[in-house]
Structure 1
Amino acid sequence: MGFPDRIERTVEVTAPPSKVWAALTTAEGLASWFGDGATIDLRPGGAARMTWAGGQSVDMRVERVEEPTVFGFTWQIQELPKDDPRRTYVEFTLEPLGAGTRLTVVETGFAQLPEDVHRKEYDAHTQGWASELGELVAHLDAA
């Protein structure tokens, strides 16, 4: 049996798609729930970077921008060397849901990882998305 390759989570938020889109695709939006700081060039091929207190950071590459419904990026795998070309792909899909939004995040690419890295990264990202999406919902509900 192969390694799991896909993490998928769906949340429903009371905010309209335009507010969810801004939280996902702007530096200010990302820094309000996902990290402590962010930069983003919102176009396919554009660079993005998330930073956290304590000095942790991750470089990202914008892959897909279909406002206001689909946003995707690739990012580094923390357990691999910075110059390793392997990345996972994260895609957010926004669907209007009454006055709110159904948001689905799918992250793929874990099956390409070496066995010693796979389980640690897959488990960390599974827990991470549960936590981060909770923070996104709380941020949007407070806005």
Structure 2
Amino acid sequence: MSRRGSAMPEERLDHEVKQSVFIRAPREKVYDAFATAEGLDRWFTRGSRVDARPGGAMVLKWVDWGAEQGINAEVPGRVIEAKRPERFVYEWGEPGSESTVEIILEKRDDGTLVRLREFGFRKIENLIDNAGGWGEALTLAKFWVEHGIATNQPKARV
């Protein structure tokens, strides 16, 4: 606690998440899947908003997400860098627990190599959750971009 009674911000951890996936599609298509609300909502989120300009606001929204469809969340963010089709960087998280996501798209002869790095965590729990989460997310992005298969749509309730 500071002298005025408010909690001091937690120090940022040195650890980071690194994941990569190869997607058989041009960088522009892959970029749009990660850096636009329309793209994200096709494979990952539902109802997100992205102003893909430096300083632009983001809200990533999940509705009935996950294996049990029990996750409902909205996570605010801010775009740091948007350089289509090469690089998209944003900060996301609740105030006081933000981290930075850097997505680099490398052109290959037969597609795009996606390199994702998330850093600046304040809580080890967030780092651990996101390490596994990004592995799943990149696989879902690959399924969507390459094959049009999306798993973020709600299942029919019987």
| TM-score, L = length of structure 2 | 0.77
Q: Work out the CA distance in 1 between the residues paired with 2:47 and 2:139.
A: 18
Max radius of gyration: which structure?
Answer: 2
Q: Percent identity?
A: 30
Counterpart pick for 2:43 among 26, 29, 33: 33
Shift of 1:34: 2.1
Does the Cα contact within 8 Å between 2:13 and 2:120 map onto a contact in 1? no
* More helix by percentage: 1
* Aligned position for 2:9: none
Structure 1 runs (4+) deviating above 6 angstroms are none
2:23 alignment partner AA: V
Secondary structure of 2:53 counterpart: coil
Runs of 5+ consecutive residues of structure 1 not aligned to the other structure: 77-81
Q: Return closer, same or farther for 1:34/1:4 CA change in 2, 3 Å cut-off.
A: farther
Shift of 1:3: 4.9
1:70 counterpart = 2:75 = no
* Aligned position for 1:135: 140
1:88 counterpart = 2:99 = yes
Does the Cα contact within 8 Å between 1:30 and 1:37 map onto a contact in 2? no
Does the Cα contact within 8 Å between 1:64 and 1:72 map onto a contact in 2? yes
Q: Work out the CA distance in 2 between the residues paired with 1:68 and 1:5.
A: 27
Matches for 1:48-63 after TM superposition, within 5 Å: 48-54=58-64, 55-63=72-80
Counterpart pick for 2:15 among 5, 9, 18: 5
Secondary structure of 1:139 counterpart: helix
Shift of 1:67: 1.5
Does the Cα contact within 8 Å between 1:34 and 1:136 map onto a contact in 2? yes
Aligned-residue CA RMSD (Å) = 1.6
| TM-score, L = length of structure 1 | 0.84
Q: Work out the CA distance in 2 between the residues paired with 1:86 and 1:63.
A: 17
What CA deviation, in whole Å up to 9, does each residue of 1:51-75 have, x standing for no partner? 1114311011000111210100000
Runs of 5+ consecutive residues of structure 2 not aligned to the other structure: 1-11, 65-71, 149-158
2:104 alignment partner AA: T
